[in-house]
Structure 1
Amino acid sequence: MDNIERLKNTLHEQVREQADTIEQERQIPVELAKELKQAGAFTLLLPKNLGGSQMALPEYIRLIQRMAEADGSTAWAMNQGSVLSTFSHQLPDQLAKKIWTHPNVTLANGPPVGSTAASVDGGISISGRWVFSSGITHADWLIAACTTKENGVKRGILAFVPKAQVTIDRSWEVAGLVGTASYAFEANDLFVSKDYVLSPHPVAEAPMLYQFPTNLMFACGFASVALGVSRAAMEFAVERSAAKVKRFQSKTLSEDPVVQSELGQCYAEWQAIEAMLHTAVDDVWGTMASQSEPQLAEQQRFRLRIAATHTIRKSRDITDRLYNLCSTDSIYRSNDIQRRFQDIHVISQHLQGRPENYQTAAQYLMGLPYDRGMIS
């Protein structure tokens, strides 16, 4: 059985069985994380020349969705690490091979809070704090995003840093996606050689996968997590409705016509957003595959953007309705739908699910000026 099949089957079941432990420990347990790393779970998009799977995007999002049905935190960490591994194709081969000494080397990162980068002899000196570093407990290297100023012009850079060189703040007191261990890390006057500093840039001759912007790969992956989480909530609701009898009533929820109608509508709406996301990714991938020099058109970028954002937000709405269907059973932490409810509400708070993304898409449709940040 190859690694992808292991992730779809054996490891999927292990993750499902350990979902409660993942939440209790607020991270993927060490031994399970080790097995997932050995199967390449956090480097699914790593280039083949570094030993990675370099999965096709349509296949990749389906795997992330399936793992999210087992546990949202694990699938989130898989997407985070795998998308970050795509930066490897922008690095010189020799440097990439120094970082990815084997294909299971995993990255974590997070948005900067008051970070600084000063030019020094041979590189830069960075200081600051980087938060929401999902998967940091099983990561080997970290990416510290910084801004430098050269000749009065600001420039965004990524500094690749071994995890052992920073201080990790293990505070992660949240309600959902608890098992992602999205801790913060800090550095103070940390020297980073110029060889390990990247200015993100497109590489025209790169394989087709790497023609997709990082932001949109994150978007499609996190939307797939949302799909998996909401699907698991539906499975719980179906199972619980067959046994649940509300107080002062004599029939099970499954016998209630109102419940039947609501569940049927949730199922229809879930299928619609799944089809929307999968069709968008499949069509864009297929179109690019037919091109001699694959390039992502603006219309294709917005198709992926709106599909991902809408999938995240509708997955949340569907999960809310399923949560309500299960009555007071939903409030107990021992019931899976409670974790799904909390997870989906964290996912929908992420920038990939922001309602402002609808506005940007509308500006594009109407020929108005728009910010390209969320499609780049």
Structure 2
Amino acid sequence: MTQATPITRSPDPIDDVLTVVAERQPEFEEKRHIPRDVIEVFKRAGLYRASTPKRFGGDPLPPARFLALIERISAVDGSAGWVASFGSSLVYLAALPLETQAELYADGPDVVFAGGLFPVQPAERVEGGYRVRGRWRFASGCTGADVLGVGIKAGEDATGRPLTAVLRPGQVRIADNWNVVGMRGTGSHDLVVDGAVVPEEWTFVRGGEPTVDEPLYRYPTVPYAAQVLAVVGLGVARAALDQAIAAGGRAGYTGAPRPADRATYRIAVGQAEAQLRSARAFFYEATEETWETVVAGGPRDPTGRPVCCGWPPPISRRPPSRSSGPRTSSAALPPSPTTAPCSAICATPPWSRSTPSSRRACTTAPVPCSWAFSPSPASC
């Protein structure tokens, strides 16, 4: 299905990714997707085998390590980080029968999976599988995918959780309709399927019981999918705040004092820095705690405490409010017009990327905000 891609052997494989992403950012915006040759760079860095089971040649990474990689990419370009984050999506496919997974990884562990799961569409039950028709939205990364998933319900399954049907790209038409402000490079086009028959063994319940017994597949699946998108916001926020700090040290054209010489600016930047770092620390701390529990063989949430595994953490989404106190940082939003320099309104990099991308990321995520602090996701 996909050829094995040799992993980069540099001291830090992600360096190659960051270099390429920085050089190709304008192209992502223009083409409205991440080109396939850049996806190959992601593969060589091991991003698309980071959730492939070991038994099929993968190199599954602990969630916090993978999230940190996506955060670094997102600080360079949010769209690239968003698409690279789907290197985690193979945890879903661990719910497929082992024989199906063996076929999926027959040509190597570097498999790119993308999908448009919503709105869930009715499918016709046929002998051995399902006849699938419909249109699905927000299929980020679909133009570079090796396999694609769509959400379906059929017959008796219509009363339970929906299935995801896995198709080859030749069975799916990509409707080129992703034309937005912010996150343009994600290529989140619609998917259209017209009567393709999908064998039952190529369908699974999203977040269903895995057939692979390895620690990563015991980690809460749907919350993990939310985390890899939430961390894009942290990366974009870091970039936006760094841009504000750098711009604040430059003199304006009016001859007025530099923003960095103004107390109001320094206070605002300090608050944003503290809020961003606290959001980030809590995000990774909760991730590590959950992972340690999973590795130890315990339940996903042994105490019944809330688990911060959702999209997006409230602390990384809402703007500050005087009435409610500090509630966020630039984890989702860049510095406000009152603290950012005039250049923040320009339609040129870097502000032209960080400002709309941070806002678009908050509205594109495919899971409810209520999952940010959800009870133990035993059914996820």
- Structure 2 length-normalised TM: 0.86
CA distance change for structure 1 residues 204 and 60 in 2, over 3 Å: closer, same or farther? Answer: same
Q: Runs of 5+ in structure 2 lacking a partner? A: 1-6, 318-327
1:27: which partner in 2?
Answer: 33
Residue 146 of structure 1 aligns to a residue whose secondary structure is strand
1:369: which partner in 2?
Answer: none
Amino acid at match of 1:346: R
2:113: which partner in 1?
Answer: 107
CA distance in 2, matches of 1:57, 1:202: 19
Q: 1:231 aligned to 214, 228, 238, which one?
A: 238
> Contact 1:113–1:128 at 8 Å: present in 2 too?
no
2:134: which partner in 1?
Answer: 128
Higher mean C-alpha displacement, 193-202 vs 307-316 = 307-316
1:331: which partner in 2?
Answer: 345
Residue 55 of structure 1 aligns to a residue whose secondary structure is coil
> Contact 1:77–1:180 at 8 Å: present in 2 too?
yes
CA distance in 1, matches of 2:159, 2:176: 35
By how many angstroms is 1:111 displaced? 2.7
Q: Deviations over 1:326-353 (max 9, x none)?
A: 2321111213123111111111124578
In the alignment, does 2:88 pair up with 1:83? yes
Amino acid at match of 2:101: A
By how many angstroms is 1:96 displaced? 0.9
CA distance change for structure 1 residues 180 and 43 in 2, over 3 Å: closer, same or farther? Answer: farther
CA distance in 2, matches of 1:220, 1:153: 28
Higher mean C-alpha displacement, 213-222 vs 270-279 = 213-222
By how many angstroms is 1:31 displaced? 2.2
> Contact 1:167–1:185 at 8 Å: present in 2 too?
yes
CA distance in 2, matches of 1:297, 1:374: 8
By how many angstroms is 1:53 displaced? 1.8
Q: 2:102 aligned to 68, 89, 97, which one?
A: 97
> Contact 2:53–2:212 at 8 Å: present in 1 too?
no
Higher mean C-alpha displacement, 69-78 vs 308-317 = 308-317
Amino acid at match of 2:299: Q
CA distance in 2, matches of 1:75, 1:115: 29
> Contact 1:234–1:319 at 8 Å: present in 2 too?
no
Higher mean C-alpha displacement, 207-216 vs 32-41 = 32-41
Q: 2:278 aligned to 256, 272, 279, which one?
A: 272
Amino acid at match of 2:201: D
CA distance change for structure 1 residues 78 and 146 in 2, over 3 Å: closer, same or farther? Answer: same
Q: 1:257 aligned to 263, 272, 291, which one?
A: 263
CA distance change for structure 1 residues 352 and 121 in 2, over 3 Å: closer, same or farther? Answer: closer
CA distance change for structure 1 residues 311 and 224 in 2, over 3 Å: closer, same or farther? Answer: farther
Q: Runs of 5+ in structure 1 lacking a partner? A: 365-371
Residue 150 of structure 1 aligns to a residue whose secondary structure is helix
By how many angstroms is 1:250 displaced? 2.6
> Contact 2:136–2:190 at 8 Å: present in 1 too?
yes
By how many angstroms is 1:35 displaced? 1.8
Please identify which structure carries the higher helix content: 1
CA distance in 2, matches of 1:374, 1:351: 21
CA distance in 2, matches of 1:37, 1:268: 35
In the alignment, does 2:308 pair up with 1:304? yes
The 5 A counterparts of 1:178-193 are 178-193=184-199
Q: Deviations over 1:80-99 (max 9, x none)?
A: x2232112322222211212
Amino acid at match of 2:92: F
How many residues are matched?
362
> Contact 1:348–1:354 at 8 Å: present in 2 too?
no
Residue 130 of structure 1 aligns to a residue whose secondary structure is strand
What's the C-alpha RMSD, in Å, of the aligned pairs? 2.7
State percent identity of aligned pairs.
22
CA distance change for structure 1 residues 171 and 315 in 2, over 3 Å: closer, same or farther? Answer: farther
Q: 2:19 aligned to 13, 16, 20, which one?
A: 13
Amino acid at match of 1:281: T
1:163: which partner in 2?
Answer: 169
Q: 1:281 aligned to 287, 293, 296, which one?
A: 287
- Structure 1 length-normalised TM: 0.87
In the alignment, does 2:80 pair up with 1:74? yes
